[in-house]
Structure 1
Amino acid sequence: MDHGYIAMKKNEVFCRLSSVGDFLGNESLVVRLIFPSTFFEENYFFEEQIYTLQKACIKNGLIVFSGPMGSGKTTTMYNLARKLANEKHVMSIEDPIEIYEPNFLQLQVNNKAQMSYSELLKVALRHHPDVFLIGEIRDNMTAKVAINAALSGHLILTTVHARNVYGVYQRLKNLGISDEELQQTMQVISYQRLIPTIDGRAKVLFDQIEGKDLDKDIIQGNIQSRMTKDWREKLEYCYLNNWINKESFETFIEG
């Protein structure tokens, strides 16, 4: 994996390059173009969903994002953190850094130097940041350090691999986080998909559970399907209002 910049219509675009050779010696190259973030409220189907996240950022605690690669999780986290950077000290820990942001103190995982997510988190705490942006919670140690940081008064924005909001909760449980710790720290669990619209663009739809609803919706086992009722209702609203076509509706109804 490598990084670089290219010029495109007089603008610089950040690139992530990944190459691999097959058994015949042929090279396969993937270039991911990461454009300067221009995601504002109009890039989301429902403004109240991004406002839910912005409101949660006012408080300390944990905001966890999930969704497949390319769904815009990192972009969402960065946009939320940028709104805080004028008044608060924001640090990001990623593997690798996906978006250059001069207003953040950005740290990159380097396993060869024994600088893992968990080790960098321990180091970062000594710099007294207000906000942590953690690229991904992958293991028990990172999960524990993130929870402890949230308990000690920090705002944590992070991602977890899961297929829906309920899966985020279960993944954190599997990493050794207790129900009590989640109830004390969780502000929002947010799953997102980037859905094509009829006019040829793409917008983000979220499936969200606020921390205050964790016990009612998840811990007590009141789960009826993969997605929440709110997701299905909002996706149907998009379809009935001709924002998305029938194919997209059927593709994304289960997340």
Structure 2
Amino acid sequence: MNTSFTFSGQLLKAALLRESTDIHFSPFPSATNIYFRILGKRMLYKKITPQHYHLLLSHYKFISGMDIGETRKPQNGAYQYQQNNASYSLRLSTLPLNNMESLAIRILPQDQQYSLQDLFLFPYQVKRIKEWIANRSGLILLTGPTGSGKTTALYTLLETILKEKSYQTITLEDPIEKELQDILQVQVNEKAGVTYQTGLKAALRHDPDIIMIGEIRDKYTASFVFEAALTGHLVLSTLHAKNAVGTIQRLLEMGIRKMDIIQTLIAVASTQLIPLHMPNTVQKRAAILELLEGEYLEKAVKGVDVHDFQLETFEKLRRKAFAYGFINEETYHETK
């Protein structure tokens, strides 16, 4: 286990040095490939022997609270990691394969502070999202694929709002990805009896102004989120969807009634991360947003093709980013 501990430390240091967001272990009979996800791209870091991987996997399962002996079921675990006075939350998950298990590690920096201007490319879109928060009730959704920065954006939005005005803010999360100041965070734990329903009932007794629900994952959670928004509070949440109109389709597929969407949903901000290529700057990514609200949102719910109107789609936004020199031609075509 000592060798595994040493290699684990070296591996995490290498991943952090490259500003990786994820580490993937792909086991095969001859070798296990280790990949880093950097700026959205998966890059091979190293190959190790199956024996070495088995020891490393046992080490990670042990320190993250998983059952080392369980190999037939998917498992999730968490581990707090410190390096150079910086704190990171590691979210680990295993996936059973044929006679082996794969492992994925999500790296969540706990000390990094972002501004909305750091995260989003166009300032006018930041201004519009902040205006949505003036609503005292209803639902605001941040949507996009896995790894598009939805949760980071949601956390940053909450932190920005609380710097400008005092709101009683309560989150229901599974899991809590980052500890926030001045926000009451509730860890949903079905096994311990802390469900979204019991968490919401308890949260409502704390007189919240804003309720944040980590992610809409299924029909049950979708119904719950809309129920929370109907209590007369402002609710923020995230959902996996390809684009803004796709968000509406997903809600309908989850059984949410059209009238409930129209009456409850304030707006949708669908995110897409694009790598910036500006001279003399550190390479980074920023988000462009499809914003769906008001009459466009209602038309989308009713099945009208809002792309025929002046809706700023990802295609139009990428074209604008290219015209302004934020991205190069290769990136423009890559992200189409």
The two structures share one fold, judged by TM-score above 0.5: yes
Q: Structure 2 matches for 1:44-83, cutoff 5 A?
A: 44-59=120-135, 60-83=137-160
- Residue 238 of structure 2 corresponds to 159
Distance 1:14 1:96 in 2: 11
- Residue 206 of structure 2 corresponds to 127
Distance 1:56 1:113 in 2: 35
Is contact 2:258-2:301 (8 Å) kept? no
Distance 1:148 1:185 in 2: 9
- Residue 232 of structure 1 corresponds to 315
Secondary structure (helix, strand or coil) at the match of 2:277 reads: coil
Distance 1:104 1:145 in 2: 21
Is contact 2:267-2:297 (8 Å) kept? no
Is the aligned partner of 1:108 residue 2:187?
A: yes
Distance 1:229 1:106 in 2: 34
Distance 1:215 1:28 in 2: 43
TM-score (norm 2): 0.67
- Residue 22 of structure 2 corresponds to none
Is contact 2:291-2:312 (8 Å) kept? no
Distance 1:202 1:32 in 2: 18
Secondary structure (helix, strand or coil) at the match of 2:121 reads: coil
Which stretches in structure 1 are left out of the alignment for 5+ residues? none
Letter in 2 for 1:237: K
Is the aligned partner of 1:204 residue 2:279?
A: no
Which stretches in structure 2 are left out of the alignment for 5+ residues? 1-75
Letter in 1 for 2:287: V
Distance 2:102 2:315 in 1: 39
Letter in 2 for 1:168: T
Q: Structure 2 matches for 1:164-179, cutoff 5 A?
A: 164-179=243-258
- Residue 31 of structure 1 corresponds to 105
Secondary structure (helix, strand or coil) at the match of 1:233 reads: helix
Q: What's the C-alpha RMSD, in Å, of the aligned pairs? A: 2.4
Distance 1:210 1:43 in 2: 21
**Cα distance change on mapping 1:143 and 1:211 into 2, 3 Å:** farther
- Residue 86 of structure 2 corresponds to 11
Secondary structure (helix, strand or coil) at the match of 2:304 reads: coil
Is contact 2:296-2:306 (8 Å) kept? no
Letter in 2 for 1:145: F
Distance 2:92 2:182 in 1: 25
Distance 1:23 1:94 in 2: 32
- Residue 43 of structure 1 corresponds to 119
Letter in 2 for 1:54: K
Secondary structure (helix, strand or coil) at the match of 2:215 reads: coil
Residue by residue, what CA displacement relative to the aligned partner does 1:192-250 show, whole Å, maximum 9, x if unpaired?
A: 0111111421111111101343123442512448xx54432221011123211223212
Q: CA deviation at 1:71?
A: 0.9
Name the stretch that deviates more: 43-52 or 145-154: 145-154
Is contact 2:299-2:306 (8 Å) kept? no
- Residue 326 of structure 2 corresponds to 243
Is contact 2:290-2:312 (8 Å) kept? no
**Cα distance change on mapping 1:230 and 1:140 into 2, 3 Å:** closer
Is contact 1:122-1:145 (8 Å) kept? no
Letter in 1 for 2:104: V
Distance 1:113 1:63 in 2: 29
Name the stretch that deviates more: 110-119 or 124-133: 110-119
Q: CA deviation at 1:158?
A: 0.5
Distance 1:4 1:252 in 2: 33
Residue by residue, what CA displacement relative to the aligned partner does 1:53-111 show, whole Å, maximum 9, x if unpaired?
A: 11101212111111111111001111111233451111111111111114221112222
Q: Higher Cα Rg: structure 1 or 2?
A: 2
TM-score (norm 1): 0.87
Distance 2:96 2:252 in 1: 38
Percent of pairs with identical residues: 32
Name the stretch that deviates more: 69-78 or 96-105: 96-105
